[in-house]
Structure 1
């Protein structure tokens, strides 16, 4: 009997230990599962990607993809997009938490194709101190005070493009015109580069591959974009090296392009490499190109749909024009008086944000909204998560510029992002928008050809037919 007991006791102990281990494992798994945000991951890799892309293509990402899941799961939910488990977050608290914790809890997560084409040494691919250093140089040049001396150049560029592209025309593509204009403003006014006719086409070939699959086979969008990137790089390297010689031999200064001067100066001082200068020049053109063009186009669209708003805006510009002598160009002080115009532009960007949001990648397990977001997962915040919610904006689907007469709670209005990654070129975009509006409304009568033109997305939004407008010069 003693033998049997001695044999059974260790066996019983092993059995109890295994049972406790199973119970603990099941408890831990159950607890961890409960801590994950609710939602569906779907099939491996595919997940809910097809639903996401379909909603995005229809320009109804928030209405068709995000809102139904908010109703089902709450403001924080999990999904799976492009092969990555992803948590979608919504609301001002979420925006503040994730955008302000860049480099601490999350890092920016761009598609491989975008990183390769914009350049791995651009600010979009930098983290921590390296990001802060480059951003400081760019932000100083693109701040309101840094841009003051550029205002006359921008005014001259806008007037020249109107004269060249609008005179004698009855209908023009507003979106195409603004894309060309913003491209020229960045190159001529900020980088001091004389624009040749072929340049825009080359840059646009690069941009066409930014969100395409990074597969380089002949004829693919990515392959064409990579080849165009080589052309762009050769062109910019020549410009950077020439500017370096000018600075080192004191033959040129900021007048040849304020931002280029500061980037090359930083390179000479060892703060940036030559590749970093070139990559950030490419990124600047990309960042200012489609997004600002779309913001301008949507502002004109909303003005056309709301004639009372247009009358008030027009009077603001006529008053500014009447206070200037003939031939005098706009000053920064004039632009600061365009308060209502900027309210209109902000409201347009609230309803039609140039970017829907952006992805981050967690670098640690994160506790948020009562859930755990595991390390290595993606996080998606969207501008729509506050822009379209009555919690933040009364009657959010109604166009109402006067809502911006009062300060807006931080991280509620986010067409330019927020935190350390907030768009460094937001003031440049603002000047672009306000200056062009001033010249157009004081010199031309205009109307939309197709007031209900649909907005397409591929992957950034754009008017599907280029937003054609009828124009005629104003009688003096």
Structure 2
């Protein structure tokens, strides 16, 4: 055997040597590239587990302290990812949209929300509508007509779901209100059973679209995919019925968002397909449902926790209520008077932002803060690295609405709606919805938290573990 060793050993060592040379060259190349510091986490899992256990705020804070306060690398959702931090990180990503970066959704989110035909498409292909269309239908002039509808539904909601009870769970009720409103405004769907047919599977989607993409029975991801399929089927039924009605009635003006989408044409003069319209409506439902209901819940949480803040909001809202007749609905002019209430809502959005940030994909290699970010890496900007930074917000954990008086926070520090070309087009819609809801709650009830130290966990958005139960005391008592 020993006689063969001189011949066999080179055959064994040669491939090992070649592998080591290749590995060292690759690593040397990577080191020369000077990628951001950080951790790849576990094989396959990356740092998903740590992100879930710590929550986005602590996950980012710990790594900023350990690696870099400007940008660090991690592995999330199966992707190499650079996390950009602070106002400078926000500014860089926002201002380089469509230059160095493009929109990106995790595969788990695309599979849950989109038709299978669109899962491998880029987001520009998925949304056949120009972004200007979204801005047109959601700009203040168009939204003014929504305010009376929002107010009327909020009154119905209070009468049916709040007034008969001494204790209510704010989070599920706010989700019910925001989804009913979206169905009414976007689709003209008002029947409770029909809304429920959309709402139940849609909740499965939002609960599982950012989960680990393991498609096995019983997992959140599996339920999200099934829920998405049910939502798309129901939307397709609604869209086809409406298209038939428009053709039969020869309508040329849209009565709601769906009709407007059915009547709009692309750059080639072609009408959008039912699938393209469904993709766009689902995107708007996600934005108007999950994040807005989280924002409403957060505001109610602080109003129930901070009596001195509640008293100031009540004073402002009662002045508006007293200036109107008992059946007179809110108007744009009334909303514009709610300045302190909106500062309270913005401080709530600073401390408990509904969205934790947003993903992008790099379209070219670039350098940031002395580090190289390769083409194809995913990036993420994070709200907490600026919202909770004492450099931008002194005593960051203190609830202080006065931060938003005058010129307000410095640019790129307060970013609950993102920024740059892709700033959330539903920002004004969310503002109106939150303020209308605040008005209807505080003018009727005083609030007290039933569980003072209720824990907040993170799914698609911050979620109170028990749904934020609050005790109600009517002003009439």
> TM-score band (shorter)?
0.7 to 0.9
**When the two structures are aligned, how many residues end up with a matched partner?**
447
Are positions 1:448 and 2:449 aligned together? yes
Q: State the Cα deviation string for residues 283-337 of structure 1 (Å, max 9, x = none).
A: 2222222211111111121122222221111111111112112321100110011
Q: State the Cα deviation string for residues 40-64 of structure 1 (Å, max 9, x = none).
A: 33454344333222211xxxx333x
Deviation at 1:437, TM superposition (A): 0.7
Deviation at 1:255, TM superposition (A): 7.3
Classify 1:371/1:329 alpha carbon distance in 2 versus 1 (closer, same or farther; 3 Å): same
Q: Which residue of 2 aligns with 1:461?
A: 462
Deviation at 1:394, TM superposition (A): 1.8
Classify 1:122/1:97 alpha carbon distance in 2 versus 1 (closer, same or farther; 3 Å): farther
Alignment of 1:167-186 (within 5 A): 167-186=163-182
What TM-score comes out, normalization by structure 2 length?
0.86
Check whether the contact 2:143–2:429 (CA below 8 A) recurs between aligned residues: yes
State which drifts further: 276-285 or 348-357.
276-285
User: Which 5+ residue runs of structure 2 have no aligned equivalent?
Assistant: 1-20
Deviation at 1:462, TM superposition (A): 0.4
State which drifts further: 104-113 or 363-372.
104-113
Check whether the contact 1:44–1:83 (CA below 8 A) recurs between aligned residues: no
Check whether the contact 2:456–2:463 (CA below 8 A) recurs between aligned residues: yes
Deviation at 1:70, TM superposition (A): 2.0
Deviation at 1:216, TM superposition (A): 4.0
Q: Secondary structure of 2:415's match?
A: coil
Check whether the contact 2:101–2:363 (CA below 8 A) recurs between aligned residues: yes
Deviation at 1:218, TM superposition (A): 4.2
Q: Which residue of 2 aligns with 1:137?
A: 133
Tell me the distance in 1 between the aligned counterparts of 2:48 and 2:369. Answer: 24
Are positions 1:33 and 2:32 aligned together? yes
Check whether the contact 1:188–1:195 (CA below 8 A) recurs between aligned residues: no
Deviation at 1:229, TM superposition (A): 2.7
Q: Which residue of 1 aligns with 2:11?
A: none
Are positions 1:103 and 2:101 aligned together? no
Check whether the contact 1:171–1:468 (CA below 8 A) recurs between aligned residues: yes
Are positions 1:67 and 2:61 aligned together? yes
Alignment of 1:320-331 (within 5 A): 320-331=320-331
Q: Which residue of 1 aligns with 2:246?
A: 247
Q: Which residue of 2 aligns with 1:288?
A: 288
**What CA RMSD, in Å, does the superposition of the two structures yield over aligned residues?**
2.8
What TM-score comes out, normalization by structure 1 length?
0.86
State which drifts further: 327-336 or 134-143.
134-143
Q: Which residue of 2 aligns with 1:205?
A: 204
Deviation at 1:445, TM superposition (A): 2.5
State which drifts further: 401-410 or 334-343.
401-410
Tell me the distance in 2 between the aligned counterparts of 1:189 and 1:357. Answer: 27
Are positions 1:266 and 2:264 aligned together? yes
Tell me the distance in 2 between the aligned counterparts of 1:449 and 1:28. Answer: 56
Classify 1:127/1:168 alpha carbon distance in 2 versus 1 (closer, same or farther; 3 Å): closer
Tell me the distance in 2 between the aligned counterparts of 1:369 and 1:274. Answer: 45
Q: State the Cα deviation string for residues 165-189 of structure 1 (Å, max 9, x = none).
A: 1232111111111000000000012
Tell me the distance in 2 between the aligned counterparts of 1:87 and 1:386. Answer: 16
Q: Which residue of 2 aligns with 1:313?
A: 313
Alignment of 1:216-235 (within 5 A): 216-235=215-234
Deviation at 1:248, TM superposition (A): 3.0
Tell me the distance in 2 between the aligned counterparts of 1:219 and 1:225. Answer: 10
Classify 1:124/1:359 alpha carbon distance in 2 versus 1 (closer, same or farther; 3 Å): farther
Q: Which residue of 2 aligns with 1:428?
A: 429
Tell me the distance in 1 between the aligned counterparts of 2:94 and 2:344. Answer: 26
Max Rg structure: 1
Deviation at 1:401, TM superposition (A): 0.4
Check whether the contact 2:34–2:371 (CA below 8 A) recurs between aligned residues: yes
Tell me the distance in 2 between the aligned counterparts of 1:460 and 1:331. Answer: 30
Q: Secondary structure of 2:367's match?
A: strand
State which drifts further: 176-185 or 114-123.
114-123
User: Which 5+ residue runs of structure 1 have no aligned equivalent?
Assistant: 1-21
Deviation at 1:251, TM superposition (A): 6.2
Q: Which residue of 1 aligns with 2:187?
A: 191
Tell me the distance in 1 between the aligned counterparts of 2:130 and 2:458. Answer: 31
Q: Secondary structure of 1:367's match?
A: strand
Check whether the contact 1:86–1:377 (CA below 8 A) recurs between aligned residues: yes
Tell me the distance in 1 between the aligned counterparts of 2:226 and 2:78. Answer: 28
Q: Which residue of 1 aligns with 2:473?
A: 472
Tell me the distance in 2 between the aligned counterparts of 1:346 and 1:124. Answer: 37
Tell me the distance in 2 between the aligned counterparts of 1:129 and 1:209. Answer: 24
State which drifts further: 336-345 or 98-107.
98-107
Q: 1:146 aligns with which of 142, 148, 158?
A: 142
